[in-house]
Amino acid sequence: MSERDVFEYALLRVVPLVERGECFNAGVLVYCRAKSFVAARTHLDETKLRALDPEADVAGVRAALRAVEGVCAGGEAAGQAARDDAGRRFRWLIAPRSTVVQPGPVHTGLTADPAAEVERLLDLLVR
């Protein structure tokens, strides 16, 4: 059996009208300390978004989701977070916010391949 490491993940939820509290999953964040790995993958279901808010700013929501992916990727796309390690970027992204794109609670698991885990969770919990 291959070595498995602990990883943490949180869903990214879209809450079109914060005051109503309705939401749907639009992405996943995965962090594995042992591998210094952090990544986000997103998938915006525009039909769900429009069902909850016909006037939603689709381009704005997409931009917010891309920004999360950029912070995880590091480099210029991460802005000031580029200097932070993977763990600090993950912790910053999972901090509660009252915006349209919000992180859900953090969960844990074991994985031999954190990059594959991102895709598996995206398929299972978002798509």
Express each pLDDT in 81-91 by its tens digit: 777 889 999 99
> What percentage of residues in the chain have a pLDDT greater than 70?
98
The angle formed by the CA atoms of residues 88, 91 and 65, to the nearest 5 degrees, is: 105
Model confidence over 25-78: pLDDT tens digits? 999 999 999 999 999 999 999 999 999 999 999 999 999 999 999 999 887 767
11 forms beta bridges with 28
pLDDT digits (tens, 9 = 90+) for 14-28: 999 988 989 999 999
The pTM assigned to this predicted structure is: 0.90
Distances (CA, A) of 60 to 49, 71, 88, 89: 12, 17, 25, 22
Total Cβ atoms within 10 A of residue 43: 14
d(CA 21, CA 25): 13
pLDDT at 83: 79
Residue 97: pLDDT band with limits 50, 70, 90: confident
Q: For residues 124 and 127, give the distance between their C-alpha atoms in angstroms, rounded to a whole number.
A: 7
